[in-house]
Amino acid sequence: MKISREIRIGAFGIITVALFVIGVNFIKGKDIFHRHRTFYAVYGSISGIQDAAPVTLNGLEIGKVTGLQFLSDTSSNIILELTIYKSVFIPSNSIARISSIDFLGTKNIEVILGDDKKPAIDGDTLSGGIQMSLTEEVNKQVAPIKEKAENLLSSLDTMVTVLQMVFNSETRKNIEASFLSIRTTLTTLESTSYNLDTLVYGQRKRLERIMFNIESITENFRKNDENISNVLKNFSAISDSLAKANIAGTLNNVNTVLVHVADITEKIDKGQGSLGLLLNDQKLYNNLNSSAEQLDKLIEDMKLNPYRYVNVSVFPYSKKRMEYTEPAK
């Protein structure tokens, strides 16, 4: 059977279109001969991800990026189309994270499995995430060190400026004078230490005697520990007795007596009573003094002339003897 020219041209065209479609899909990473699932993920920035970038799970490639475009005309977010060829269970809460494959910055999509028991079905949108690149990680770690280094350099610059301002010629002179004073002080301390050492060496025998006496006193305390305890017990008993005694009542009585004595003294000072009159009446004092003087003279005369006061009949009466004469002074 002869095939017409039109049929051959049509068949060739169909085959060509089919090969073109297969080639385009192959270039995009799509395998139209195998069963696949399509997922989507939305990102604020894709960080250099390219079409046909691999989609991996635990380092194993399970699909490819088959499309990327803006989410809408009014949004700057980008939506990626992920075609999964491998028959692997992907939970619905899994994350499609953009990560780096090598140090050159080649990007891929890494699927981080979630813990949901419900699987993600064809056409679902997974959560998007971006892993920092090595450069970004280094920058993140180096940034605090850089900031500290800058602060340190600024502090050093400030310190150098302050030192330049402080250590001027006058300040250097003052520092030299201070070191000279310190040197003089150290010399004085050295001399004092030498004198003290000499003194201790010269008085070592006396110090030995003092230490011996202290040791002897300590030994006596140790030997008389029981007596000291008894003395302390006696002091304790005395203090207990004083505490139990009615000291307050006794003091009140003494106070009362002192008040009465003060009243009596005041009355005596005012001339009240016999004792007050005796102390304060000058006329009474003079009379008593005169009476005492007359009594003294009478006693003296009685001693000298007793026969005037004792009349014995044996002796005849004599007027001359009975007369009073002033005793010789």
> What's the confidence (pLDDT) of residue 275?
65
> What's the confidence (pLDDT) of residue 242?
67
Which tokens in the block code for residue 261? 């004595």
Which tokens in the block code for residue 103? 């140090």
Query: Does residue 103 contact residue 137 with C-beta atoms inside 8 Å?
Result: no
pLDDT in tens, 13-52: 888 887 777 776 666 555 555 578 899 999 988 877 888 8
* Residue reference for tokens 């005309």: 73
Q: With bands split at pLDDT 50, 70 and 90, how would you rate the model's confidence at 291?
A: confident
The single-letter DSSP state of residue 119 is B
Most confidently modeled of 207-216, 241-250, 265-274, 304-313? Answer: 207-216
Q: How far is CA 303 from CA 204, 287, 300, 309, in A?
A: 82, 24, 5, 10
Helix (H, G, I), strand (E, B) or coil at 68: strand
> What's the confidence (pLDDT) of residue 41?
92
> What's the confidence (pLDDT) of residue 5?
73
Ramachandran assignment for 320, one of left (phi > 0), alpha (psi -120 to 50 degrees), beta (any other)? alpha
- The answer to whether residue 222 scores a pLDDT higher than 60 is yes
Return the percentage of the chain with pLDDT > 90, whole number: 6
- Amino acid identity at 95: I
More confident residue, 303 or 258: 258
Q: How far is CA 153 from CA 145, 148, 156, 161, in A?
A: 12, 9, 5, 12
- Amino acid identity at 23: G
Sign of CA dihedral 280, 283, 287, 289: positive
Q: What's the rounded Cα separation, in Å, for the pair 329 and 324?
A: 15
Alpha helices in the chain (DSSP H): 5-28, 134-166, 169-202, 204-223, 225-244, 247-270, 273-280, 282-304, 319-322
Average pLDDT in the chain = 78
Helix (H, G, I), strand (E, B) or coil at 310: coil
